[in-house]
């Protein structure tokens, strides 16, 4: 699951969005099967990066908020590469929507359960 998530992030940075979608879908499936909460949160981060790069900042904002809630709940922090991707995604969301809307969307999705966020991510990737 982690390897697939890492491949998704690498594909994002290489501009291979279709490949990244495939990797993140497979990783999310494994994370659900294994109840790998933190792995699913990393996948939500990757999904948000994919969505903002494909012109869907509102969906990206919702996933960013949901993933942050998971990281907060388990008292975990992002690794440096994921933190960089989060910052880039966050900045792109703010640029696309403006600060007020971006903050509101991110905050509104913090109430999503992990299962709801994963379902939303998978639907948004289609």
Q: Say what the pLDDT of residue 35 is.
A: 94
Mean pLDDT of the chain: 94
Q: What are phi and psi of 74, to 5 degrees?
A: -100, 10
The yes-or-no verdict on residue 110 having pLDDT over 80 is no
pTM for the whole thing? Answer: 0.94
For tokens 């960013």, the residue is: 64
Q: Say what the pLDDT of residue 126 is.
A: 83
Q: Which two tokens stand for residue 71?
A: 């990281």
């Amino acid at each position: 699951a982690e390897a697939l998530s890492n491949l998704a992030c690498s594909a994002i940075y290489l501009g291979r969005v279709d490949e990244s979608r495939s990797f993140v879908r497979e990783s999310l499936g494994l994370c659900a099967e294994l109840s790998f909460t933190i792995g699913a949160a990393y996948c939500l981060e990757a999904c948000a990066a994919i969505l903002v790069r494909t012109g869907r900042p509102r969906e990206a904002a919702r996933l960013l908020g949901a993933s942050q809630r998971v990281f907060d709940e388990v008292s975990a922090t992002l690794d440096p590469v994921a933190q960089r991707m989060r910052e880039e995604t966050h900045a792109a969301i703010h640029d696309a929507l403006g600060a007020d809307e971006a903050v509101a969307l991110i905050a509104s999705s913090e109430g999503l359960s992990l299962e709801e966020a994963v379902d939303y991510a998978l639907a948004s990737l289609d």
